[in-house]
Amino acid sequence: MTSIRIGIAAAAIVTIVVYALGSGYWVSSDSGWYRSLNQPAWQPPDWIFGLIWPYNFIMLGIVSVVIARNAALPSAFIWLGFLILSVIAALAWSYLFYVPHLLPQAAIALVVTAVLTIPIMVITFQTQLSYGWLLLPYQLWLITAASLSIGYALKN
């Protein structure tokens, strides 16, 4: 792998680590408040979150390396750019939801996250079809999480 490709992979991995740590920091900040909210009817059990997020972060890390190694350089840079933007939006959701409790704004941030992930999915499928399928649960989870966030905003 060339130094440019190594840099793309490293930047993506750092972004994913920041994503995991940043979202975990704010999510765990006020569980009493979260438990007091009226939940949407389609809220999954808590253990689902414990399964899906580690899977998502691991797959994002693996796919980052695959994209850095195999995608055309312009596509790899675009993939990285959308990853960074989607992580910024996702971290904005974590902060907005759990710190100032701005539920409508948080829901918008998560919808933006899901939309920003579409180019990531497209480039991954174009570069390595099987890895695109490995990221599909992440995209579906973001859509589910966005719908939950909208549900929380409407019910609270």
Give the contacts of 44 (CB within 8 A, at least 6 positions apart): 144
What are 1-41's pLDDT values in tens digits?
899 999 999 999 999 999 999 988 877 666 788 889 999 99
Q: Check the CA dihedral 55-114-23-27 and report its sign.
A: negative
The structural domains of the chain, with segments of one domain joined by +, span 3-155
CA 155 to each of CA 44, 79, 98, 117, 123: distance values in angstroms, whole numbers, following the listed order: 16, 35, 16, 27, 36
What are 133-151's pLDDT values in tens digits?
999 999 999 999 999 999 9
Amino acid at 117: T
Rounded to whole angstroms, how far apart are CA atoms 152 and 156? 6
CA 109 to each of CA 31, 50, 99: distance values in angstroms, whole numbers, following the listed order: 20, 22, 14
State which CATH number among 1.10.940.10, 1.10.150.120, 1.20.1260.100, 1.25.40.10 fits the domain covering 3-155: 1.20.1260.100
What are 79-126's pLDDT values in tens digits?
999 999 999 999 999 999 999 999 999 999 999 999 999 999 999 999
10's tokens: 């490293």
What are 31-81's pLDDT values in tens digits?
788 889 999 999 999 899 989 999 999 999 999 999 999 999 999 999 999
